[in-house]
Amino acid sequence: MSGVYVILQERDGRVSRASWEALAAGQRLGSELNQPVTAIVLGATTEALAAEAAAKAIAKVIRVEHPLLAQYTADGFIAALAQLIQNERPTQVVLPHTYQVRDYAPALAARLGHVLISDVVSIGDGPVFTRQLLQGRLTGRYRHTGSGPCLISVQAGAFRADTVETGAAEISTFTPMIDAAQIRTKPGEPFRGSAQTVDLGSAQLIVAVGRGIKDADNLPLVQDLATALGAELAASRPICDNGWLPMERQVGSSGQTVSPKLYLAVGISGAIQHLVGMKGSQCIVAINKDPDAPIFEVADYGIAGDLFEVVPALTEAVKAAKQ
Amino acid sequence: MKIIVAIKQVPERDAQVRIDAAGKWIDESGLQWALNESDAYALEEALQLKEKSGAAGSEVVVLTAGPERVGPTIREALAKGADRAIHIDCDDLGMRDALGVARLLAAAIKPENPDLILTGLQSEDLGLGQTGVIVAELLGLPHATLILQVEKTDTGLNVKRELEEGWFQSIELPTPAVLTIQSGGNKLRYATLMGIKKAKTKDVRRLTAAELAVDATPVVVVERIALPQKQKTTQMLPGTAKEAAAALVEKLKFEARVL
């Protein structure tokens, strides 16, 4: 029993960025444990994905192919991967922490009698795996015990995709046994919620508002600041869940990913799901009443104070500076 | 339709948390607790499904595991309209891993034979996002995650699943099934005075972890918890609101040069 397996996910016919990050994490584990790294691609036809993966500095690529894997289903993926893992007996299995992986990896681990260590942000000697707790207020270091594979999923952005070097890996194929009757769910084609009229991705300046604003009636306060700056208004998920701003203004894992010159977060505590959508911003400013809020972990400038006092003062200061 | 909603009590969002002496969890003394947000949406979805179905004998059962302190959270769910509750009395939840907790829940669910099991997509404290999916696996049921809408069909369910970056997908699945609910699909209700009154007389069945007799040995163990390491050096701008605002504009203009 040996080897680090990295399960790659396809996106628009190519290996997704999050998968390359998972591969980087796999290589970190491979060198820690002195074990070869193997990339796994799944689908009905995986030739192109396998070729892409084989051009990296890893030992092997395994194509897990079956007509019933043409479309993602948890039942199909769990059946195929459980067979592969039981057959090949890797010690470590690394996955990107995507919505798809969240849908099947916990059950895959359970089928193997194991437990996925989800949303890992770093890997230390041992190996020990660090993940965030209480929406990023604390971190926990976890260790896998017992024999059998250790499964982990890694948070988007936690490992650098560009550290994966080029190489030439051998490619093999694994054909799992899957019966159509095993697949109990019928997924439809993905669709967009509504016509996107706001492209936050191309905005240079963004003012984003979170739960701290307390009430929809207080939104003009941040809208005024956005207007004074010439910025787009964005929000964290709870604001959109409440219907205070349209979903298309949501930044985070379930909304848009942005990297403006300036991201000004008002009353946003900084839950992981929000941070993954904005931490690539050039300059981050946070205004929050709680000096321990996780948003300050990623902020360049911070004001720990009452947004109902700070925001109007800031709007005035911006207006004065622009005159 | 019989629906079980698995809920969790978590520290209140703004609660000040301190690491406990052993460095393995937070100090729970004096902490304020609340119903996990996505579990509140799962409960809401269950209550709406029951109301829509209107069938006699439909019921919503809330299920939770935890020590004595979870009592008020159970009452809150009953006050919002759940018909009865099952409380797995267990004070070593933190020592069990995701599989261990799911085993407890699955053992309590099994004899109930529900048509549907709902839970939130993840907890606000541990944030593992695994419990519902593992429960489905343990019970041998189909599942779907990150669900915003649930519709009963002749053959089972049609659900709206959230994908990343503003995409969605419809999924058909047979019942019984397990769904993990994403926040925002419905508007949450408040408990009415009448509901709070009624909740006091509703049945809360207590089970102990011991009588469920599931394996509690963890595969994944927490070594230590700590404060996060800063990813950036944050310049905190002190002073009154006016002073801090003026200082920030200066910094943005001349230091960060983004204005």
Q: Is A59 exposed, middle or buried (0-12, 13-18, 19+ CB in 10 A)?
A: middle
- Measured between beta carbons, the chain B residues lying within 8 angstroms of A237 are 183-184
Q: From the CA of B79, how many Å to the nearest CA of chain A? A: 22
Residue type, B103: R
Among A229, A296, A300, beta carbon nearest to B256: A300
Point out the domain boundary residue: A151, A182, A213.
Answer: A182
- A241 to A245, A254, A313: CA distances (angstroms): 8, 11, 28
A158 contacts chain B (CB < 8 A): no
Can you list the positions of beta strands (E) in A30-116?
37-43, 60-65, 92-96
Residue A35 CA neighbour count, 13 Å, CB half: 20
The predicted pLDDT at position B166 comes to 79
User: Is residue A320 classed as helix, strand or coil in its secondary structure?
Assistant: helix
- Measured between beta carbons, the chain A residues lying within 8 angstroms of B124 are 134-135
pLDDT at B229 over 90: no
- Structural domain contains residue A67: yes
- Inter-chain touch A186–B246, beta carbons under 8 Å: no
Distance (Å, rounded) from C-alpha A6 to C-alpha A60?
10
A187 contacts chain B (CB < 8 A): yes
Point out the domain boundary residue: A182, A215, A241.
Answer: A182
- Inter-chain touch B223–A237, beta carbons under 8 Å: no
Same domain, A225 and A145: no
ipTM of the complex, rounded to two decimals: 0.93
The predicted pLDDT at position B55 comes to 81
Same domain, A110 and A157: yes
Q: Provide the number of CB pairs (under 8 Å) joining chain A to chain B.
A: 257
- Inter-chain touch A137–B223, beta carbons under 8 Å: no
Q: From the CA of B170, how many Å to the nearest CA of chain A? A: 5
Same domain, A243 and A299: yes
CATH number of the domain to which A81 belongs: 3.40.50.620
Q: From the CA of A166, how many Å to the nearest CA of chain B? A: 29
Count of domains observed in chain A: 2
pLDDT at B247 over 80: yes
pLDDT over 90, % of chain B: 86
- Mean pLDDT, all residues of chain B: 94
- Measured between beta carbons, the chain B residues lying within 8 angstroms of A283 are 252, 256, 258
What are the boundaries of each domain within chain B?
A: 2-212, 235-259
The predicted pLDDT at position A1 comes to 64
Closest CA to A286 of A306, A273, A275, A301: A301
Same domain, A128 and A206: no
Same domain, A178 and A93: yes
Same domain, A48 and A111: yes
The predicted pLDDT at position A282 comes to 93
Among A114, A190, A261, beta carbon nearest to B258: A261
Among A106, A114, A139, beta carbon nearest to B228: A139
Query: Is A208 within 8 Å of A287 (Cβ atoms)?
Result: no
Task: Dump pLDDT digits (tens) for A201-254.
Answer: 889 999 999 999 999 999 999 999 999 999 999 999 999 988 899 888 999 988
Distance (Å, rounded) from C-alpha A9 to C-alpha A48?
13
A199 contacts chain B (CB < 8 A): no
The first and second tokens of residue A56, run together, are 């990296």
- Structural domain contains residue A193: no
A186 contacts chain B (CB < 8 A): yes
- Measured between beta carbons, the chain A residues lying within 8 angstroms of B183 are 237-238, 241
Choosing among A119, A183, A200, A314, which should be mutated to test the B contact, i.e. which has the most B CBs within 10 A? A314
Stretch B31-36: mean pLDDT: 96
CA distance between the termini of chain B: 58
pTM of the model: 0.91
CATH number of the domain to which A287 belongs: 3.40.50.1220
Tell me which DSSP letter residue A250 carries: B
Rg over alpha carbons for chain A, rounded to the nearest Å, is 22
- Structural domain contains residue A31: yes
A299 contacts chain B (CB < 8 A): yes
pLDDT at B179 over 80: yes
Name the CATH superfamily, with its identifier, for domain B2-212: HUPs (3.40.50.620)
Identify the band that residue A130 occupies on the pLDDT scale cut at 50, 70 and 90. Answer: very high
Task: Dump pLDDT digits (tens) for B117-163.
Answer: 999 999 999 999 999 999 999 999 999 999 999 999 999 999 999 99
Residue type, B233: T
The parent domain of residue A24 ranges over 4-182
- Measured between beta carbons, the chain A residues lying within 8 angstroms of B142 are 74-75, 184-185
Point out the domain boundary residue: A117, A149, A182.
Answer: A182
- Structural domain contains residue A194: no
- Inter-chain touch A99–B163, beta carbons under 8 Å: yes
Among A188, A255, A317, beta carbon nearest to B246: A317
Q: Can you say whether the dihedral through the CA atoms of A150, A156, A159, A161 is positive or negative?
A: positive
- Measured between beta carbons, the chain B residues lying within 8 angstroms of A301 are 234-237, 248, 251-252, 256
Same domain, A26 and A170: yes
Among B161, B219, B244, beta carbon nearest to A310: B244
- Measured between beta carbons, the chain B residues lying within 8 angstroms of A188 are 169-172
Stretch A56-84: mean pLDDT: 97
- Measured between beta carbons, the chain A residues lying within 8 angstroms of B98 are 106, 115-116
Query: Which residues does A49 contact at the CB level (< 8 Å), separation at least 6?
Result: A8, A10, A14, A15, A41, A43, A63
DSSP per-residue letters across B122-182: --SSS----HHHHHHHHHT--EEEEEEEEEE-SSEEEEEEE-STTEEEEEEEESSEEEEEP
- Structural domain contains residue A191: no
Stretch B44-51: mean pLDDT: 97
